[in-house]
Structures are given as C-alpha cells and as structure tokens.
C-alpha cells in the first residue's frame, strides 16, 4: 500500500488529457454497476448490476424466511445482467433485466457480444465461477452453455474476450497460479470447433497479483487489461500492452495513468465500436455509490475561428492582428497556438486542444491591444468548430487602412450588381458612415476575353456601379475615387471559368483619411482626393483634381506592356509599362492638338503639357508626391482634356494638367 501511494503521487502529478464522464443515474445506482458491453452499432448497452431490481435467489429456506431471496452471502444483492438503449449522446433508456433464462442461482455478469451481436459471453457463479455463452433466438437469449474444460476449471474464471474472427479467446483464470490469483491465458479454436489447450500471454502481462479483464483493440495489436500488480495506484488499474509481431509476444505493460486510473478499483476497460472512446467500471469520488460505469474520452482538438472586430463600432474587422492562445496540458506542459487575421477577410483560425481555458493575447504591429480569457469546452470529436469573435478597443487610422472589404464579382461582360454584391456594399457603407475619416478607391477589373481597350471601359463601368450605389446610400462623392485596371491586374490566371470569375471583380482599398496631408502618405499607398475636389470621370479613365501617389502598388504588380485608349471626346491615351514595372509613360493627344507627356520612374514624376499651338503650359521635373501640393484650378481647354492617369497604370493616379506644383529644390515650374 505504501508503494501504491508512491505510484499514485507520480501518476497523479502527470495526468493525461482525458475526459471521464459518469453515465448518470439511469444506469448507475448506489450499488455496484460494472462489466459494460456495447453492441456493434453503439446503441445497446449490456451491463451488470447489484442493484435492488436483481432477481438472483438465495434458495435456502432460512434465507427465504428472512426475506433474503435476493441477497448473496456478502450481504449485497446478487449480480444480474441488464440492457439499456441509447436515446442520444447523453441519455439511455430505463434498463431492463435480462434475467429470464440468463438468471442462475447466483451471480450472472455480462462479458462480451460477438458474431454480429448474436452471441454473448457471460460469467455465471457455477463452482468457483465459469465462462458461459448464450445465443440470440427470436429476439431473446437462449439458455447459457458452459465453455469446455480447457477454459473453465475448479478455480475462478472471471472474464474473457473472443477475437472478431472467432478463432482465439483470451480469459482470466486462477487455475495455473499457486495461490489462486488470476492470470490471463489464451486458447485457439481447434479444427473440430472447440477450444484447445490454454497458454499464458507471458510475463510482460501476468504478475504474481491478479491480472484480469482482457480486451483487444479491433486490429488485435493492443491488449487492455486490469491488474493489481506493477505500478498500480491502488486496487485494480487499467494497463495496456502492444503486440510485437516480430518477437511474437506481448510487450511491456504500461499503466494508462490518471484520470483513467484512481487509488481504488478500475476495471473492465472496453473500447467503443469505432475505438474513439471507451467504457470503464470504476469506484471513484463523484460516483453514485459503489462501482459506476463511466466513459473515457481522449480530449480532442477543436477549431476556433472568427474575426477580430473593433469594439468602437462593432463592425470594422481588423486584418493583420496576431492572436496567441496560451494554455497548458493536463500535466502543466505549456501550449501555444498562433494565427494572424487575414488581409482580405480579417478571419483567423487556430486548432487548439480543447477542455481548458486559454489566455488570448491580441496584438497589432508588435503592440498588445488586449488580453482576455477564453474557455474552450471539452471536445471529444475532431470535427468540433467554435465560432469566436474578439472585440478589441482598436481602430486603425493610418493611411494604409486596416479595413478589410470583400471583393464583389460580376457576370461575364456585365456590370450590374449581384444581390450578394449589394449586401457587401451595404456593409461598406456602414463602415464608411461609422468612420467619416475613411476614404476608398473603387477599382474595376476584368478577365481577358476581350480587347484591352474594351476591358478598360468595362472595368470602369463596374467601378462606377459600386460608386453610384454607395453615393445613393449617403456616402459623399469626395470620399471615393474610381479606377479601372481592365485586364491588367489579374487575381488569377485566365485559364479556367473559375479563375476568370475571380478576375471579374471590383476591389475596395482604403486610401487617405479625410484631413490628412499628402506628405504623411507613403508613396506605395493610393492617394485621396484633396478636400473639396470634384470627381469627374470619362470612359475608361479617372480624373481627380489634385495629385496622387506614385510607386509600386501595394496590391498586384502591374503587367508590363502597352495600351491605347480613345476616349469619348476624341482624346487618345497611350500607356507603356516597362518590363520591370518600375517605369511608366503616359502620352495624350487632344482632339485640338493638345499634348501631354508624363513619365513616372522610381517614385519621381516628369510631366509636360502643351496647348494646341505647341506652347508649354506646365512642366514638372523630378517631382515626388510629397513635393506636390494639390490645388484646384479652373478647367481650361489645355488642362481638362489631358488626363495623366490611365486605368492601365496602377502606379499613378495623377493629373498634372489639372494641378499647380509648388516649387521646391526638386520641382521646376515653367510658364
């Protein structure tokens, strides 16, 4: 017992992640319930009870006179076999006794059902106790028959297990020990159909103490059994042994640990039909009396997924947020799981070990936003999914914007809004209204099944459709700019209908918040129109009075190549993107001979505008977006018709002909 206590301390301090659950008062009583047997479909439970409803009989006249007809010599009720049907995952029907022909003069106990649940092994108190079997006929069980003398003896035979092929039986017997303690033996079926001579399973399983209740996994490679020997915590503990197919013997037994085992008796470990959990008979704290039947579930992983949302408006999802789930295993080993919210949706997803409370640290750009606790309930199935949104006190106000807007998609050669697009536009409208300092770029895209010129116009029509809807729903026109990329910025190769659908889209990108000055904006970010600027659009292009940014887009890389567009007023626009996409040339020719030329290279702008007579009206050399202060000038024939940004140019949204440049060290303005 001293050694048991030492063993218990070791096992208790290194627990397993296992969920032990009592089957409840429908099955368990203040008396002993044990020997669970589950049908192959997991819907019928056979078990043994010593409760008040048993029918075992004390046949002595004196016993009957004293009213002890159901009492055994130890003063408790006899054991009988009961059956219950599963109602759902949590509940069972009221058990019914299977006494009838199965009821002997003493104890009767369930052991196993086999052969498609048509046969049952059972224990009967005959002599010192033997193994019997019964067959099912007409929905009921027949009179039990005793197994042959190679299995049964004048000693105690307690429990048994027949392999699925019906050719091998493992059983516990006191026949071969000097002091009658139980050991586990096995026998194989002979050609005549009966059991042959018994053989020991070996010293890796059997000890000088009781070794009982054998049960094999479906593949026959693992034996589970009960033993009072080795490093038991006290009484019977559950052990397991793996079969060594090369050495043709059972390996060293391993204690199943706490909380499968306790300092009292734990026995009759039986796997469910699919092997995902087990049944167990145990006498432990929290039960209904003596031994109860429990289920043993290994705690499984659960998928936790959701979004991180700003608590300031309860709408804005925040991409780029790191979530770290920190917890411990049952043995106090640290656990840590991490994910970052996605840039397009703001979603996160982690797979964590269930059945514990996690500390969730939420951070952005290396700075902690908040830490909170999240209790994950026990999951006993790998498919468990838990939705969890985190509402945090954070609102991104940088010019890059951390609002994740979903893309909207279009049918082939169409620019009318789909119902799901209207839903997303409503969501965008809500966010914009909740954040008056937020501006967006609405960017139309196409697949490649038409000409570049045609797709430029179609992309603009798609962007305009989204723009007009938001405007009708109360979003100010100065907070939105539109751009068409045509087929120049594919999201996927145009090699399948599914990929081409991904390219027929409008994207929404956050630009500069209202009131923020241009010199605070990074050159890799899209520009916002100046306060009070007027948005004017011509087919296939965007014109905004004010200047934009240059450089490589934060989105997809520009596709190198050339394009030509003729606008409704006769203006011709030519665009060329170099092979490395680091240099963009834009030329325009107005219907009256006006010309403009803009070159954007490595973040600098060189621009020149001439009127119909060839006189230079504006020249900007070596300017960068930070050097340019946008102002609104009256439109003239020489300025209004010279758009310096074409939809095919992701890197530039400027219209030098519509702006004045403030002279600096790197900017020259010539009349």
H-helix or E-strand spanning residue 321? strand 321-328
Q: 416: which DSSP letter?
A: S
Three-class SS state of 122: strand
| Pure H helices in 532-597 | none
Low-confidence ranges of the chain (pLDDT < 50): 57-61, 63-68, 398-402, 513-557, 623-671
Paired residues of 121 in beta bridges: 112, 133
Q: How would DSSP label each residue in 472-526?
A: HTT--GGGEEEEEEETSS-SS-SSSHHHHHHHSEEEEEE-PPTT--GGGS-TTS-
Dump pLDDT digits (tens) for 527-556.
333 333 333 333 333 333 333 333 333 334
Please tell me the total number of residues recorded for the chain in this structure. Answer: 671
How far is it, in rounded angstroms, from Cα 112 to Cα 38? 8
* Measured torsion, CA atoms of residues 239, 245, 248, 253, in degrees rounded to the nearest 10: -10
Question: Whole-number mean pLDDT of the chain?
Answer: 80
Q: Are 407 and 423 a contacting pair, CB within 8 Å?
A: no
* Residue 115 tokens, joined: 């052969």
SS3 38: strand
What confidence tens digit (pLDDT) does each residue in 422-476 have? 999 999 998 888 887 788 889 999 999 999 889 999 999 999 999 999 999 999 9
pLDDT at 346: 84
Rg over alpha carbons for the chain, rounded to the nearest Å, is: 40
Alpha carbons 290 and 383: distance in angstroms, whole number: 35
Handedness of CA 34, 39, 44, 46 (dihedral sign): negative
Q: Which strand (E) or helix (H) includes residue 6?
A: helix 2-12
Looking at residue 56, what is its pLDDT?
A: 56
Q: Is beta strand 211-216 parallel, antiparallel or unpaired with respect to 222-227?
A: antiparallel
Rounded to the nearest 5°, which phi and psi values hold at 63?
Answer: -65, -45
Place of tokens 């300017």: 623
Give kind and range of the element (H or E) at residue 96: strand 96-97
The phi, psi pair for 424, rounded to 5°, reads -70, -40
Q: According to the model, what pLDDT value does residue 51 have?
A: 80
Query: What pLDDT shows up at residue 604?
Result: 60
Handedness of CA 123, 124, 128, 131 (dihedral sign): negative
How, if at all, do strands 237-244 and 211-216 pair?
unpaired
DSSP-based three-state secondary structure for 453: helix
Distance CA 588, CA 575 (A): 9
Cα–Cα distance measured from residue 195 to residue 198, given in angstroms and rounded to the nearest whole number: 8
- Residue 460: partners with Cβ closer than 8 Å, 6 or more residues away: 444, 482, 484, 537, 539, 540, 541, 542, 647
The pair of structure tokens assigned to 205 is 């399983």
């Amino acid at each position: 017992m001293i050694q048991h206590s030492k063993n218990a301390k070791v096992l208790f301090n290194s627990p397993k992640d296992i969920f032990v659950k009592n089957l409840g008062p429908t099955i368990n009583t203040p008396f002993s319930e044990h020997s669970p047997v589950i049908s192959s479909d997991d819907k019928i439970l056979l078990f043994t009870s010593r409760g008040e409803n048993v029918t075992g009989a004390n046949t002595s006249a004196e016993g009957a006179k004293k009213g002890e007809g159901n009492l055994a010599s130890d003063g408790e009720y006899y054991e009988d076999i009961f059956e219950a049907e599963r109602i759902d995952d949590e509940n069972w029907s009221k058990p019914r006794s299977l006494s009838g022909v199965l009821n002997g003069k003493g104890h009767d106990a369930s052991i196993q059902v086999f052969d498609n649940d048509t046969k049952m092994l059972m224990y009967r108190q005959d002599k010192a106790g033997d193994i019997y079997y019964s067959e099912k006929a007409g929905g009921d069980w027949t009179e039990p028959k005793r197994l042959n003398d190679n299995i049964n003896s004048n000693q105690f035979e307690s429990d048994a297990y027949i392999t699925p092929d019906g050719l091998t039986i493992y059983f516990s017997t006191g026949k071969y020990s000097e002091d009658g303690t139980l050991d586990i033996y096995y026998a194989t079926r002979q050609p005549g159909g009966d059991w042959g001579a018994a053989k020991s399973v070996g010293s890796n399983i059997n000890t000088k103490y009781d070794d009982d209740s054998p049960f094999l996994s479906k593949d026959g490679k693992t034996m589970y059994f009960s033993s009072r020997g080795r490093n038991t915590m006290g009484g019977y503990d559950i052990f397991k042994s793996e079969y060594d197919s090369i050495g043709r013997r059972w390996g060293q037994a391993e204690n199943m640990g706490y909380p499968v085992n306790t300092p009292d008796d734990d026995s009759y470990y039986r796997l469910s039909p699919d092997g995902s959990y087990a049944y167990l008979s145990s006498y432990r704290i929290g039960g209904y009396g003596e031994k109860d039947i429990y289920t043993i579930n290994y705690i499984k992983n659960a998928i936790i997924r959701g979004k991180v949302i700003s608590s300031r408006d309860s709408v804005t999802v925040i991409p780029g947020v790191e979530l770290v789930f920190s917890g411990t295993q049952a043995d106090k080993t640290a656990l840590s799981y991490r994910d970052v919210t996605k840039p397009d949706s703001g979603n996160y997803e982690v797979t964590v070990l269930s059945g514990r409370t996690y500390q969730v640290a939420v951070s952005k750009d290396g700075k902690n936003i908040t830490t909170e606790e999240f209790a994950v309930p026990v999951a006993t199935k790998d498919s468990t999914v838990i939705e969890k949104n985190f509402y945090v006190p954070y609102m991104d106000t940088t010019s890059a914007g951390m609002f994740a807007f979903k893309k909207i998609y279009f049918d082939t050669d169409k620019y009318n809004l789909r119902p799901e697009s209207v839903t997303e536009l409503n969501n965008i409208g809500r966010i914009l209204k909740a954040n008056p300092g937020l501006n967006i770029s609405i960017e139309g895209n196409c697949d490649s099944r038409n000409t570049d010129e045609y797709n430029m116009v179609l992309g603009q029509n798609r962007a305009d459709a989204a723009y007009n809807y938001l405007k009708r729903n109360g979003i100010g026109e100065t907070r939105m700019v539109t751009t068409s990329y045509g087929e120049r910025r594919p999201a996927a190769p145009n090699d399948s209908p599914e990929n081409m659908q991904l390219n027929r889209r409008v994207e929404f990108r956050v630009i500069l918040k209202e009131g923020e000055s241009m010199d605070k904006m990074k050159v890799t970010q899209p520009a916002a129109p100046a306060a009070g600027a007027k948005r004017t659009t011509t087919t296939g292009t965007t014109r905004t009075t004010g200047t934009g940014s240059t450089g490589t887009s934060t989105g997809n890389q520009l596709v190198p190549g050339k394009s030509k567009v003729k606008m409704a007023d006769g203006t011709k626009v030519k665009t060329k993107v170099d092979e490395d996409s680091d240099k963009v040339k834009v030329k325009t020719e107005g219907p009256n001979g006006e010309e403009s030329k803009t070159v954007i290279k490595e973040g600098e702008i060189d621009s020149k505008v001439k009127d119909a007579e060839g006189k230079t009206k504006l020249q900007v050399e070596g300017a960068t977006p930070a050097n340019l202060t946008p102002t609104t000038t009256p439109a003239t024939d020489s300025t209004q018709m010279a758009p310096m940004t074409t939809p095919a140019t992701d890197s530039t949204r400027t219209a030098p002909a519509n702006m004045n440049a403030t002279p600096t060290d790197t900017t020259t303005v010539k009349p």
